[in-house]
């Protein structure tokens, strides 16, 4: 049996009760027969609303962050156990916007992944280089350093995470990594995971960075691209459904198991 693709939408700090209602209803209706997994990562205040709206559909619920702490005096934080109470199955950790605007370090991201896993939430761990780092020829070094921290802390259950390669220069810019550029980094990450686990093939490696209806199919056709993390295009049902259709149609890599 082959591994299904995984498409995750990152709404970022967007949405309203009214807009979410229309979006989730359209996605639930449009994903009845798809052959891939679909997650919507919504702002924390909307988890309860989306949990109800998605009920009975194939959609899975995700958060955009999780506290590294389990509970206690951490004003403003949301714990993994709280997320689980709302049916959250996935949490993005280490998104470049959190690394950049909230000072999240490789070590913190690795610990957040550990906390999520400990509470039955699958972390979608984001890694990726800035434009300056790519231009300096440091892409491989940067993503491997970010990944190494996560492997170091989560070694024994590393095959249970999801990884999203998101070149920072491609996020929200309309500038996408070419399928070849993305595949090159995904292959590196797969190799790094294979050195840490016998089950590296099980890990979903998502591409993120201006994925849209027009470029999704060629990115998803790459052998090590197992899905997408989609920002802007996940807010428009027709666009997101076209990406989902591309993932659904794209042949899973041979020999991989779900």
Residue with tokens 């995470």: 161
Nearer to ligand PEP, 30 or 62 (CB): 62
Q: How far is the CB of 10 from ligand PEP (least distance, A)?
A: 4
Q: How far is the CB of 73 from ligand PEP (least distance, A)?
A: 30
Residue of 95, 104, 186, 204 marked catalytic: 95
Nearer to ligand PEP, 8 or 245 (CB): 8
Active site residue 201: no
Q: Where are the alpha helices (DSSP H) in the chain?
A: 17-30, 47-53, 80-85, 96-101, 106-118, 131-135, 139-154, 179-194, 216-220, 237-249
Active site residue 95: yes
Nearer to ligand PEP, 81 or 213 (CB): 213
- Residue of 166, 158, 6, 167 whose CA lies nearest to 90: 6
Burial of 202 (0-12, 13-18, 19+ CB in 10 A): middle
Nearest position to ligand PEP, beta carbon: 231
Nearer to ligand PEP, 148 or 213 (CB): 213
Residues at the interface with ligand PEP (CB under 6 A): 10, 12, 166, 171-172, 208-211, 229-233
CA distance 149 to 107: 6
CA distance 7 to 219: 12
Nearer to ligand PEP, 133 or 196 (CB): 133
CA distance 196 to 176: 29
CA distance 153 to 187: 22
Q: How far is the CB of 176 from ligand PEP (least distance, A)?
A: 8
CA distance 240 to 41: 13
- 27's CB contacts (< 8 A; 6+ apart) are 38, 40, 54, 57, 59, 237, 240, 241
Q: How far is the CB of 195 from ligand PEP (least distance, A)?
A: 27
Residue of 97, 133, 166, 204 marked catalytic: 166
Q: How far is the CB of 146 from ligand PEP (least distance, A)?
A: 15
Structure token pair of residue 10: 């990152």
Nearer to ligand PEP, 30 or 208 (CB): 208
Burial of 147 (0-12, 13-18, 19+ CB in 10 A): buried
Q: How far is the CB of 203 from ligand PEP (least distance, A)?
A: 18
Task: Catalogue the active-site residues.
Answer: 95, 166
């Amino acid at each position: 049996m082959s591994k299904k693709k995984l498409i995750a939408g990152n709404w970022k700090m967007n949405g309203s009760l009214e807009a979410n209602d229309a979006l989730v209803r359209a996605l639930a209706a449009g994903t009845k027969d798809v052959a891939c997994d679909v997650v919507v990562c919504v702002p924390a205040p909307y988890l309860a609303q989306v949990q109800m709206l998605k009920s009975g559909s194939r959609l899975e619920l995700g958060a955009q962050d999780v506290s590294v702490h389990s509970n206690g005096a951490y004003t403003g934080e949301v714990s993994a156990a709280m997320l689980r109470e709302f049916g959250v199955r996935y949490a993005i950790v280490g998104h470049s916007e959190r690394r950049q605007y909230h000072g999240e370090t490789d070590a913190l991201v690795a610990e957040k992944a550990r906390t999520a896993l400990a509470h039955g939430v699958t972390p979608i761990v984001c890694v990726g280089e800035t434009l300056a780092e790519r231009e300096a020829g440091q892409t491989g070094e940067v993503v491997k350093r970010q990944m190494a921290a996560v492997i170091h802390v989560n070694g024994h259950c590393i095959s249970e995470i999801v990884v999203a390669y998101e070149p920072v220069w491609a996020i929200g810019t309309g500038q996408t990594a070419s399928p070849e550029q993305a595949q090159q980094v995904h292959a590196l990450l797969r190799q790094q995971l294979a050195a840490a686990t016998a089950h590296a093939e099980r890990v979903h490696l998502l591409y993120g960075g201006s994925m849209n209806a027009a470029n999704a199919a060629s990115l998803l056709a790459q052998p090590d691209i197992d899905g997408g993390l989609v920002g802007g295009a996940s807010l428009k049902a027709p666009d997101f459904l076209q990406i989902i259709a591309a993932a659904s149609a794209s042949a899973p890599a041979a020999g991989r198991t779900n």
